[in-house]
Chain A
Amino acid sequence: MTPTAAPALEWRGVTIGYRRPGEPELVAVDDVSLRVGRGETLGLAGESGCGKSTLAMSVLRLLPRSSRLEGEVLVHGEDVAAMSWGRLRAVRWTEAAIVFQGAMHSLNPVRTVRWQILEALELHADRGGSAESRQARVAELLGLVDLPVARADAYPHELSGGQKQRVMIAMALACDPDVIIADEPTTALDVVVQAQVLDVLSALVRERGLTLVMISHDLSVLAAVCERIVVMRHGRVVEQGPSERILTAPEHEHTRELAAAFPVIGDPASRRVVGRVASRDALDAQRTEPTPQRPEPVEGRSPDPADPPLLEVRDLVVDFRSRGRAVRAVDSVSLQCRRGEIVALVGQSGSGKTTLARSVLGLQRPTSGTVLHRGHPLPTDRAGLKAYRRAVQFVLQDPSASLNPKHTVYQAVAEGVQIHRLPGDEAEHVAEALRRAELNPPEAFFGRLPQELSGGQRQRVVIAGALALQPTFLVADEPVASLDASVRGEVLALLLELQRDLDLGALVITHDLGLAWNIADRVVVMHQGRLVEEGSVEQVLLDPRHAYTQSLLRVVPSRLGSRP
């Protein structure tokens, strides 16, 4: 490999479109030019559908047949589009390799880890080496990503999400490429595991002087690893610059939206204040009367701590039977929620927080312990439970999945009204609930199907469905985790408004400490089925007592970036 002056990667006026039958071409990448120098680390940020993954795939010409590419994609100065198939196959994995989302389905489920890594080595065997040396190389690669060699004979399903991601990294390094492209390498991973994977990746890049292009929707994750960040929107580059500057002093409005989704804990500007960002979706523009846009941020108000608890959980235990073994998901948890109080239940995946929420809603029968509502134990008969569910409502994680895709907005919101046969005019109930959830004018939304709404609007329809029953309390399971950064604010602002205007309390389940900082009054930290720490937001997040809370706060990416 002779060093040349050409940059490791370069996109020159690249436009990529997808042909769709019966529809105009979808332009995913629109006239993008970028240079990535040798040894540089570049972060590509943007929301889903902004074209960042398409751009990455174009490097190895991995785009589907329905795509059309204009412009040049150069790897070490050589145009990828002009390569012969043979040359392209030789370049793949040896000059540039991709770390796919390993936690998802990027590993072949019926082959062992060893088989899959060896395959890459054997394909490019012209780089020398015997069968034994290749076996040794597998062990070496696994060592690089801190995996025991014994794991080589495991199948993907036997590995945890973090381990799969490490395997993906090891596989990408197999043929010593100069360029590594990491496509959302930590999405779907737990915060703690995410920190470990990012550590492994950035250490390898540093030690080997690799060129890294990392893709993420999370600016703080990119800032933790990359020197430079490029922000994309609708296929175009809207802003680029050094990570530090992008994160602390974003210039473009969209960058600010992305940055706001990951507030700096301890920053008073984002405490119980959610900047509402006007959504500029095409659908919003079609509305006959746009949502009144308030430039002023929404501020929450604190509940009265002297109130008696509205909901109370006493010594709750939930066991699951799994493969003949009992697993304790929730371990003697006691918890109180007051009227008009927003409580954040924070924990990693698998900490039992969702099981706790389902028990509170009467969707999961506890092994022992009680849930009390206004001082009375949860009813166990059908009628009593139905009445209870009018008072305590549920908002689920993924609004696209929690709405029946075939039901219109009207049907979705009216569902609860019909189940409970609320007195009065059904359409009036629905309209009122939609208005409360700020979907104005409500009649314009009646006939819409979920797929025609933005993510934020969908979540507001789910909230409207709950509000139609005039509940006194909401249980929200990761209400914004699956939403794009720009609509995260609008849903959180709505929760704060409902608290202020209707005195509606909420138990918000989240893995995101920033969200707790944004809207909660109190924080409860859950770890392995137990509550380990509880207190006001300021107290728990700024002065954590328990070692687990401290470790959680340590791995928050916005702090990672500030680490030396």
Chain B
Amino acid sequence: MTLAESTPALEEEQPRGSTLGRYLAWKGGGAAISLVMVVVLGFFAFRVLPGDPAINLTRGRRVSAAEVERLREELGLNDPLPWQFVSYLGDLLRGDLGVSYVYNRSVGALILEGLGPTVLLTGSAALVSIVLGLWLGQKAAWTRGSLFDRSQTGLALVFWSVPTFWLGLILLLVFSGGFGWFPSGGMVTAGTDLRGLALVLDVAHHLVLPVLTMVAVVYAQYLMVMRASVLEEMTSDYLTTARAKGLREDLVRTRHAVPNALLPTVTLIFLTIGGLVGGAVTVETVFSWPGLGYLTFQGLSAPDLPLLQGTFVVFSSIVIVMNFVAELVYRVLDPRLRSS
């Protein structure tokens, strides 16, 4: 054992330059294990942790002892735990996530309905944040110490320190309550039957404040990361080569420094997808945006544990799959990871 104290572990655990197949298998395997862990956690968190699930599930509601017993039977709580897990897995594979108490509907159907609005909200926010954050970040780094740099980093640090939900509340107070420019919540104006372009415009109108709220917090993070990456590259020797060739300073930046700085930034952006989803929970709650985050909040305040369990498993799975896709995109972006 002692002889092997240091194995030749110089190779990284992600085999650089290995074949695409091996890479896919490695990353896919990792994502699959994470998915299994989510499912296991989703099951045990709601069954094994302190407290009787039947009591937990009925917390806050008036139920008789007989009703609790019927629920225990219904949930299969009287079966041995492994058997419960197997039947839970079976249900999950069939897409059966149980029945919500609040809505008295299948959790699966509720989640399907909420998926679209959440993707619309987080997708738009992510897009705006990435463009804004990366652009400001590289510009700030390149003009380090300038007024632009100092004001932009200062602003980003302030936004980064703002709780998302509070910013939402303030925006709501000012632009919806105060000026009345934007609707106070929801995705479409209630009681109307809009179609086509009118519907799109109505949704866009509802989208402005929630997206603004998310962007304010998220772009700041991207700005700081991009700024740090560009600063990291700024002392690189290949930039001296580029200058020696006679390249203009702005071309040195856009053709050489930024493409290199983007790579580590992209990794970090991928890692914050989970944070984006967390933001969705609070923003959707504040703006009553009918997505998965709002469902989570509903499940939480009822409390409606089947709904909460369902949103947890689906949210986590989405993020894991997104990360897997992101790894593949990264591999395409970085020639050093591409197979030769």
Contact between A and B in the complex (any CB pair below 8 Å):
yes
Residues of A within 8 A of B (CB): 57, 60, 62, 88-94, 97-98, 100-101, 104-112, 119-120, 123-124, 154-155, 157-158, 171, 320-324, 362-365, 380-382, 385
| Given A362-B3, A363-B6: 12 more A-B contacts, CB < 8 Å | A57-B240, A89-B246, A92-B243, A109-B260, A119-B255, A171-B241, A323-B11, A324-B18, A324-B22, A364-B8, A380-B2, A385-B2
Decide: A93 near B244, CB < 8 A? Known: A108-B260, A322-B11.
Answer: yes
Are A365 and B3 in contact (CB-based, < 8 A)?
A: yes
Chain B residues near A320: list those with CB within 8 A: 8
Chain B residues near A158: list those with CB within 8 A: 340
Chain B 207-264 residues near chain A, CB threshold 8 A: 236-238, 240-248, 255-256, 259-260, 263
Are A381 and B2 in contact (CB-based, < 8 A)?
A: yes
Chain A residues near B248: list those with CB within 8 A: 89
Decide: A100 near B15, CB < 8 A? Known: A89-B248, A108-B260, A110-B334.
Answer: no
> How far apart sit A365 and B242, CA to CA, in the bound complex (Å)?
45
Q: In the assembled complex, how far is the CB of residue B338 from the closest CB belonging to chain A, in whole angstroms?
A: 8
Nearest B residue (CB) for A57: B240
Nearest B residue (CB) for A96: B244
| Other-chain contact of B245, A109, A123, A323, A385 (Cβ < 8 Å) | A123
Are A120 and B245 in contact (CB-based, < 8 A)?
A: yes
Decide: A97 near B244, CB < 8 A? Known: A323-B18, A365-B4.
Answer: yes
Are B240 and A124 in contact (CB-based, < 8 A)?
A: no
Are A105 and B238 in contact (CB-based, < 8 A)?
A: yes
| Other-chain contact of A106, B5, B8, B238 (Cβ < 8 Å) | B238
Q: Which of A88, A157, A362 has the most CB of B within 10 A?
A: A157
Decide: A106 near B260, CB < 8 A? Known: A155-B335, A364-B8, A381-B2.
Answer: no
Are B17 and A323 in contact (CB-based, < 8 A)?
A: yes
> How far apart sit A154 and B335, CA to CA, in the bound complex (Å)?
10
> How far apart sit A146 and B247, CA to CA, in the bound complex (Å)?
27
| Other-chain contact of B241, A100, A363, A380 (Cβ < 8 Å) | A100
| Other-chain contact of A380, B3, B11, B240, B263 (Cβ < 8 Å) | B3
List 12 interface pairs A-B (beta carbons < 8 Å), by A numbering.
Answer: A89-B247, A91-B246, A97-B244, A98-B244, A101-B237, A105-B236, A105-B237, A108-B256, A111-B259, A324-B18, A364-B8, A365-B7
Are B244 and A60 in contact (CB-based, < 8 A)?
A: yes
Are A93 and B245 in contact (CB-based, < 8 A)?
A: yes
Nearest B residue (CB) for A318: B8
Are A385 and B3 in contact (CB-based, < 8 A)?
A: yes
> How far apart sit A90 and B18, CA to CA, in the bound complex (Å)?
42
Q: In the assembled complex, how far is the CB of residue A329 from the closest CB belonging to chain B, in whole angstroms?
A: 9
Main secondary structure of the interface of A (DSSP, over half): loop
Are B335 and A110 in contact (CB-based, < 8 A)?
A: yes
> How far apart sit A154 and B246, CA to CA, in the bound complex (Å)?
23
Nearest B residue (CB) for A355: B8
> How far apart sit A381 and B18, CA to CA, in the bound complex (Å)?
36
Chain A residues near B240: list those with CB within 8 A: 57, 62, 100, 106
Q: In the assembled complex, how far is the CB of residue A360 from the closest CB belonging to chain B, in whole angstroms?
A: 12
Chain B residues near A119: list those with CB within 8 A: 242, 245, 247, 255
> How far apart sit A98 and B241, CA to CA, in the bound complex (Å)?
8
> How far apart sit A93 and B335, CA to CA, in the bound complex (Å)?
27
| Other-chain contact of B260, A57, A110, A364 (Cβ < 8 Å) | A110
Nearest B residue (CB) for A115: B255
Decide: A108 near B8, CB < 8 A? Known: A90-B246, A158-B340, A380-B2.
Answer: no
Chain A residues near B94: list those with CB within 8 A: none
Are A109 and B3 in contact (CB-based, < 8 A)?
A: no
Chain B residues near A62: list those with CB within 8 A: 240, 243-244
> How far apart sit A100 and B244, CA to CA, in the bound complex (Å)?
10
Are B245 and A110 in contact (CB-based, < 8 A)?
A: no
Nearest A residue (CB) for B243: A62
> How far apart sit A120 and B259, CA to CA, in the bound complex (Å)?
18
Chain A residues near B3: list those with CB within 8 A: 362, 365, 380, 385
Q: In the assembled complex, how far is the CB of residue B125 from the closest CB belonging to chain A, in whole angstroms?
A: 28
Are B238 and A107 in contact (CB-based, < 8 A)?
A: yes
Assess whether B61 is interfacial by the CB under 8 Å rule: no
Are A92 and B8 in contact (CB-based, < 8 A)?
A: no
Chain B residues near A109: list those with CB within 8 A: 238, 260, 335-336
> How far apart sit A461 and B16, CA to CA, in the bound complex (Å)?
37
> How far apart sit A123 and B1, CA to CA, in the bound complex (Å)?
59
Q: In the assembled complex, how far is the CB of residue A74 from the closest CB belonging to chain B, in whole angstroms?
A: 18
Q: In the assembled complex, how far is the CB of residue B253 from the closest CB belonging to chain A, in whole angstroms?
A: 13
Are B18 and A93 in contact (CB-based, < 8 A)?
A: no
Chain A residues near B5: list those with CB within 8 A: 363
Chain B 243-302 residues near chain A, CB threshold 8 A: 243-248, 255-256, 259-260, 263
Nearest A residue (CB) for B259: A110
Chain B residues near A323: list those with CB within 8 A: 11, 15, 17-18
Q: Which of A104, A110, A363 has the most CB of B within 10 A?
A: A110
Q: In the assembled complex, how far is the CB of residue B233 from the closest CB belonging to chain A, in whole angstroms?
A: 10
